[in-house]
Structure 1
Amino acid sequence: MLNWILVDEIIYNGLKEDINNFDITTDILIDKESKSLAHMLAKEEGVIAGLNVAQRVFEILDKDVNVKINVKEGDKVSKGTVIAQIEGSTKAILNGERLALNLIQRMSGIATISRKYRDIVKDIPVRIVDTRKTTPGLRILEKYAVRVGGCYNHRYNLSEAVLIKDNHIKAIGGIKKAIDKIKNNLSHTIKVEVEVESIEGLKEAIEAGADIVMLDNMNLEDMRKAVEIGRGKVILEASGGITIEELVETAKTGVDVISVGALTHSVKALDISLIIGKIIHF
């Protein structure tokens, strides 16, 4: 599900950034009565996410533009697939083309890599989750794309959940002190996650009452030890630069969750183009 109030705000900001006062090229060249039929084409194989967002771009520019979507969110498409057709004002199509493509390309790239991660560990009982390493201003869309691809979301922002990280622990003077202070000032409905770098830190976090423990940059041997100690007591999350090549072995340690910043922070956009194929009226 998407919060369309927030999505519309992203689109309006994107249009203001791209068009500013007016589209000098389109406004001079294209008559306001001109209508066209265009199609959106996948130029490589991948998982589609964000068609509904791209559609909204054109609807905001002109409510009479008709977007026919040919595939479903989360569908894997092949090169050459026409994923949507756009019919209506030529000016609106050209005004919105770049923003619509930027968003759907980015979101589909995230969905594609998320599907790849999911499929690699589909037979192992582990969740692959994203992080807050998202493009500023686009987090709601990028985390949505992760879910479309089949992975899961970590906390949305700093207000949503507690995660006591190494710098918090250093600043306050220890894991137990941090957890005690958090729990004394926190609603009972919110879980407490703590980042640790050692087995000793894990034991301290468990004893202090953590609900979730993030194993930061631990090697596989220590992760296995952590699972033996923490199983049934806390949720265990592996984190820290885990590559796709390391995914299976990390999952086999028995951790519950693996967080992967690469799902959003270093994604290649899926190659999608928009082509005007027919002038309906000029």
Structure 2
Amino acid sequence: MDWNSKKIRSILEAALAEDRVANDVTTTLTIDPGLRASGTIIAKEPCVISGLGCIPVILDIFSKMNPATVGRFQVVSHPEIFDGVKVKKGQSLAVIRHNAHALLSTERVILNLMQRMCGIATLTNEYVRAISGTKAKVLDTRKTIPGLRVLDKYAVSCGGGVNHRLDLQDGILIKNNHISLGGGLPAVLEKALKWHKAGQIVQVEVRSQTELDQAIAGGAESILLDNMTPSQVKKAVKQIRSAPQKILIEASGGMNLKGIRKYAEAGVDFISVGALTHSAVAVDLSMRITADLY
């Protein structure tokens, strides 16, 4: 993750502007503008870390928005603490040393982003562990918070998941609405295979035996088995594996921790889980801020 990229900085700038951090009246009226402080981010529950890289960028942006707080800052974490690492309840994730105004004004933005990202990473890791020992991999989806997709998907990767399409130009996925509006699966698939660009895998979502037969016969490069039972998926996998061409197989639809392993054991290559990003619960983190005497 390039935290200093234009895209990431624009997301963080928007978050700081939304909270009007340069106009923090409580801090301005009550705290000495020259006070230095230390902020320690603490995990209040076990979790997988994600989002540590946002901290120095947020502080840099804040300093530009509020020149009065410009000054040296330092973000310190233990060498063994970084994105993707599991931590226990009570562990310190990072210590931030900066002007007290900067810490107080950016505290909520930092925690909001990291709590969500750690929540996604932690949930993803649970799904990854649930299918360990199989060849299947856990995929994310585009069911992300608008404007935060790049952060959501990065958090998935921190949890051991695999990023699927980042956006609509990142790959071709023919779904039921394309099929109904485009003249049927064979016609839509033929057009996609004819006009797609190099590197764009043509995937077809199938919901019935007829659609599965048409997808295989039409030369689909990847097939998504949607809302099928594990036994139906196992049967479909056997048919797809016997096709003359190599076809990637994905299962999707209502996946949960209790049942995902049955789908993995059915022989699919990937299992997409929308819950990773649309239903992850934020991890409980806190920032303990104290006056710095150094």
The residue aligned with 1:116 is 126
Change (3 A) 1:270 1:199: same
Aligned partner of 1:69 in structure 2 is 77
Secondary structure, aligned partner of 2:7: helix
AA aligned to 1:16 is A
Provide Cα deviations, 1:92-122, integer angstroms capped at 9, x if missing partner.
1111101000111110011101111111111
Contact kept? 2:139, 2:162, Cα under 8 Å: yes
Quote the residue 1:222 is aligned against: 232
Q: d(CA) in 1 for partners of 2:199 and 2:152? A: 27
Q: Structure 1 vs Structure 2: percent identity of aligned residues?
A: 40
Deviations 1:58-85 (CA, angstroms, capped at 9, x unpaired): 2322362211123111111111101111
Aligned ranges 1:57-206 → 2 under 5 Å: 57-62=58-63, 64-70=72-78, 71-206=81-216
Deviation string, structure 1 residues 232-272 (Cα, Å, up to 9, x no partner): 63111100011110111111110111000011100111110
Contact 1:125 1:256 in 2 (8 A): yes
CA distance in 1 between counterparts of 2:157 and 2:283 reads 17
3-state SS of 2:19 partner: helix
Name the CA shift for 1:91/1:21 in 2 (closer, same or farther; >3 Å): closer
Alpha-carbon distance in 2 for matches of 1:204, 1:233: 15
Contact 2:16–2:62 under 8 Å retained in 1: no
Q: Secondary structure at the match of 2:168?
A: coil
Q: d(CA) in 1 for partners of 2:252 and 2:167? A: 17
Once structures 1 and 2 are overlaid, which stretch shifts more, 161-170 or 57-66?
A: 57-66
Q: Which residue of 2 aligns with 1:56?
A: 57
Map Cα deviations across residues 124-180 of structure 1 (whole Å, 9 max, x no partner).
010110000001111101101101110101110101110011011011121110011
Equivalent-residue separation in structure 2 for 1:220 and 1:38 (angstroms): 49
Aligned-pair distance for 1:20? 6.4
Q: Distance in 1 between matches of 2:231 and 2:128?
A: 23
Cα distance in structure 2, aligned partners of 1:215 and 1:194: 9
Under a length normalisation based on structure 1, what TM-score does the superposition of the two structures give? Answer: 0.96
C-alpha spacing 1:51/1:21, structure 2 compared with 1 (3 Å): closer
3-state secondary structure, aligned to 1:85: strand
> How far apart are the structure 1 equivalents of 2:198 and 2:37?
57
Alpha-carbon separation, structure 2, partners of 1:156 and 1:31: 45
Per-residue deviation, 1:21:
5.8
Q: Distance in 2 between matches of 1:39 and 1:58?
A: 15
Let me know the Cα RMSD of the aligned residues.
Answer: 1.5
Q: Is the 8 A contact 2:35 2:291 kept in 1?
A: no
Q: Secondary structure at the match of 1:245?
A: coil
Which range moves more in the overlay, 225-234 or 72-81? Answer: 225-234
Q: How does 1:38-57 map to 2 (within 5 A)?
A: 38-57=39-58
Contact 2:140 2:276 in 1 (8 A): yes
Aligned 8 A contact 2:22 2:62 in 1: no
Write out the 4+ residue segments of structure 1 that deviate beyond 4 Å after TM superposition. none
Distance 2:291 2:29 in 1: 20
Tell whether 2:253 aligns with 1:247: no
Q: CA deviation at 1:184?
A: 2.5
Is the 2:21–2:62 Cα contact (8 Å) retained in structure 1?
no
Identify the residue that residue 2 of structure 2 maps to in structure 1: 2
**How far apart are 1:279 and its partner, in Å?**
3.9
SS in structure 2 of the partner of residue 189 of structure 1:
coil
Which runs of 5 or more residues in structure 2 are unaligned?
Answer: 64-70
Alignment partners' CA distance in 2, 1:124 and 1:89 = 50
CA distance in 2, matches of 1:187, 1:262: 30
Decide whether the 8 Å contact of 1:38 with 1:85 is kept in 2. Answer: yes
Indicate the SS of the match to 1:111.
helix
